[in-house]
Amino acid sequence: MRYAMAVDTKKCVGCSDCVVACQTENNVPIGFCRDWVVEVIDGTYPQLEVELRSERCNHCENAPCVRCCPTGASHIAEGGIVLVKPGKCIGCGACIASCPYDARFPHPKGYVDKCTFCIHRVKQGMKPSCVSVCPTKCMYFGDLDDPNSDVSQVLKKRKHKTLIPEAGTLPQLYFLI
Amino acid sequence: MKEELIISGRENLLVDPQLHIWHWPIPLYLFLGGLAAGVLFFAALYHLLGKEEEYRTAVRKAPFIAPFALVIGLICLFIDLNHKAYFWQLYTTIRIESPMSWGAWTLLVITVSAFIWCALHIREYFPAWDWKYKWLRDLESFFNRYKKQLAWVMLIFAIITGVYTGILLSAFNARPLWNTSVLGPLFLASGLSAGAAAIVLLSKDKKERLLFTKIDLIILGTELFLIVHMFMGFLASTQVQIEAAQLFLGGPYTMVFWIFVVILGIIIPGVLDLMEMRGKHIPAVLPGILVLTGSFVFRFVFVFAGQVSRWLY
């Protein structure tokens, strides 16, 4: 099993509903967020191109945060999801410094927090909260090993990219372009 | 010309400042750890070379810096943890992939051996010292018997400690400034030169001071070579590493790095060392203090600048 997510940059309108849904679902402390929207404007006026991306942890296959964690609190769980065990985390910040996507933050309680792909929902057969609330339905989630899953289907049909592949992290968050 | 504007909808004042996750205790610890590694390395080396009587300060007196430096360093590390009550989790596992994990174990070994080494030489400072209890006296004679083995442990673990403070940073590919393998030897050299400088500061013996002035000069030269080497590597590398080097080549850290680390911390003390060796009388305090300050500033500049450098996408 290999969970992955694809975000359609052509459909995303940057409403940040995914951010609010995540904060509500996961009880993210006020002022913090596990996902966010990036707007990239490219070109010279008037030939401008806009790309909107809903970003979060890339659940990398070669995860630097897991590699540098001194206690094994950061680990790769079933389905390739990168998770943190709060009871093992000492809050040293090594994983925060090691993430090229800056996807982690220290929870006010001390341990490091991040996107979990809403594993608690996925286990019950639901989609991650960001995916299920998206008003333009621009996000796809599923198992890459299953050729019929939403994400496998859309990645087969559409051109896509990952963020900073040159960092060697093998990210599993795809952007349809 | 192509222009690019990136607007992050993160709009999150609490998260982004947090990416500067390592504060002052970390560079302070890196400095103290490097200094301790330096003095312990020379103590072990000259004991193993059988020159304990000749270089008394290096073998017997200067090592007393180490336990203090290491304990303060450990307190620093503890202060910068966010989940303090769980620090013991560090010692439930060894993860070879994580420099912080094996570094924590190295720190344990080096701290214990530093304390034992100082206990064996406590009479250097308190000639009438008595261990009071029989088991403590037994322990002392036990370690005196195995002093050579202890020195070997100290020598090896001092090198590992010195290198690890650099590797700790170079393991992070997300921070292009840190992500260079030169950092290991560079931090080791910086720690050793701080150790040699501390010995010169403490020693009252002319011959010993001259030897460590010479050693200091060689290490400072090596350090300068490694720094040049590092920048050559950066400038010949990818865009993110070129941008990382730019932090020191015109960027916000240029002045503090070149003035305090390179000129005042390496070149001027190097010239003073050279003058001392040529027979000119230089107050020993001067190069010593300069080298220690340079080494200290170097850790701060590097830890802070490294957290500014990042991949852009």
- Show me where the domains of chain B are located: 22-308
Interface contact B59, partner A, CB < 8 A: no
Alpha-carbon distance A154 to nearest alpha carbon in chain B (angstroms): 23
What pLDDT sits at residue B101?
A: 93
- Contacting residues for B42 by C-beta, under 8 A, at least 6 apart: B58, B59, B62, B192, B195, B196, B199, B212, B215
What pLDDT sits at residue A73?
A: 95
Q: Which residue of A has its CA nearest to B103?
A: A70
pLDDT at B1 over 70: no
With bands split at pLDDT 50, 70 and 90, how would you rate the model's confidence at B247? Answer: very high
In Å, how far are A6, A176, B59 from A159, measured between CA atoms?
11, 6, 66
pLDDT tens for B55-105 read 999 999 999 999 999 999 999 999 999 999 999 999 999 999 999 999 999
Residues of chain A with C-beta less than 8 angstroms from the C-beta of B11: 36
- Write down the mean pLDDT value for chain B: 91
What pLDDT sits at residue B15?
A: 59
Q: What architecture is domain B22-308? A: Up-down Bundle (1.20)
Residues of chain B with C-beta less than 8 angstroms from the C-beta of A39: 6-9
What pLDDT sits at residue A17?
A: 92
Considering only CB atoms, A97 lies closest to which of B7, B10, B21, namely B21
| More confident of the two residues B241 and B312 | B241
Cross-chain residue pair B98–A67, CB shorter than 8 Å: yes
Q: What is the mean pLDDT of residues A145-160?
A: 94
List, as ranges, residues 155-174 from B with C-beta within 8 Å of A: 171-174
Give the residue from B14, B24, B102, B173 with the most A CB atoms within 10 Å of its CB, the best one to mutate: B173
pLDDT at A134 over 80: yes
A19-33, B2-16, B78-92, B112-126, range with the lowest pLDDT: B2-16
pLDDT at B143 over 70: yes
**B141-155 per-residue burial string, b: 16 or more CB within 10 A, e: under 16:** eebeeeeeebbebbb
| More confident of the two residues A109 and B1 | A109
Residues of chain A with C-beta less than 8 angstroms from the C-beta of B86: 87-91, 110-111
Cross-chain residue pair B99–A90, CB shorter than 8 Å: no
Q: Tell me the CB-side half-sphere exposure of residue A80, using CA atoms within 13 A.
A: 21
Q: Is A176 left (phi over 0), alpha (psi -120 to 50) or beta?
A: beta
A42-46, B60-64, B179-183, B233-237, range with the lowest pLDDT: A42-46
Cross-chain residue pair B85–A110, CB shorter than 8 Å: yes
Residues facing residue A44 across a β-bridge: A47
Cross-chain residue pair B95–A69, CB shorter than 8 Å: yes
Q: Which residue of B has its CA nearest to A40?
A: B6
What pLDDT sits at residue B155?
A: 96
Give the residue from B30, B89, B164 with the most A CB atoms within 10 Å of its CB, the best one to mutate: B89
Cross-chain residue pair B86–A90, CB shorter than 8 Å: yes
Cross-chain residue pair A90–B90, CB shorter than 8 Å: yes
Residues of chain A with C-beta less than 8 angstroms from the C-beta of B307: 97
CB A116 within 8 A of CB A83: yes
A146-155, B142-151, B231-240, B272-281, range with the lowest pLDDT: B272-281
Q: What is the mean pLDDT of residues B116-121?
A: 94
Q: Which residue of B has its CA nearest to A93?
A: B21
How many residues does the structure list for chain B?
A: 313
Alpha-carbon distance A148 to nearest alpha carbon in chain B (angstroms): 31
A29-33, B50-54, B173-177, B178-182, range with the lowest pLDDT: A29-33
**Distance in angstroms (rounded) separating the CA atoms of residues A90 and B90:** 8
CB A61 within 8 A of CB A145: no
With bands split at pLDDT 50, 70 and 90, how would you rate the model's confidence at A144? Answer: very high
Residue B159, φ and ψ in degrees, nearest 5: -65, -45
CB B179 within 8 A of CB B241: yes
**Distance in angstroms (rounded) separating the CA atoms of residues B57 and B59:** 6
CB atoms within 10 A of CB B229: 14
Q: Which residue of B has its CA nearest to A162?
A: B313
Alpha-carbon distance B73 to nearest alpha carbon in chain A (angstroms): 15
Q: What is the mean pLDDT of residues A160-174?
A: 93
Helix axes B147-170, B25-48, angle to 10 degrees: 150
Quick one: what percent of chain B has pLDDT higher than 70? 95
How are strands ordered across the β-sheet holding A3-8? A139-143, A3-8, A173-176, A160-161
Q: What would the two tokens of residue A37 be?
A: 């929207």
CB B117 within 8 A of CB B65: no
What pLDDT sits at residue B12?
A: 60
Considering only CB atoms, B82 lies closest to which of A64, A97, A110, namely A110
Q: What is the mean pLDDT of residues B297-313?
A: 89
Q: Which residue of A has its CA nearest to B80?
A: A92
Give the residue from B10, B87, B102, B243 with the most A CB atoms within 10 Å of its CB, the best one to mutate: B10
Place of tokens 């990382």: B244
Residues of chain B with C-beta less than 8 angstroms from the C-beta of A87: 86
Cross-chain residue pair B9–A37, CB shorter than 8 Å: yes
pLDDT at B201 over 70: yes
Cross-chain residue pair B93–A168, CB shorter than 8 Å: no
Burial class (CB in 10 A: 0-12, 13-18, 19+), A36: buried
A vs B: CB pairs below 8 A: 156
Q: Which CATH number fits domain A3-176: 3.40.50.300, 3.30.70.20, 3.40.50.2300, 3.30.1330.10?
A: 3.30.70.20
3-state secondary structure chain A: CCEEEEEECCCCCCCCHHHHHHHHHCCCCCCCCCCEEEEEEEEECCEEEEEEEEECCCCCCCCHHHHHCCCCCEEECHHHCEEECCCCCCCCCHHHHHCCCCCCEECCCCCEECCCCCHHHHCCCCCCHHHHHCCCCCEEEEECCCCCCHHHHHHHHCCEECCCHHHCCCCCEEEEC
What pLDDT sits at residue B130?
A: 85
What pLDDT sits at residue B308?
A: 87
Place of tokens 């010195």: B162
pLDDT at B255 over 80: yes
What pLDDT sits at residue A114?
A: 94
Alpha-carbon distance B238 to nearest alpha carbon in chain A (angstroms): 10
Q: What is the mean pLDDT of residues A3-26?
A: 93
Q: Which residue of A has its CA nearest to B176?
A: A100
With bands split at pLDDT 50, 70 and 90, how would you rate the model's confidence at B10? Answer: low
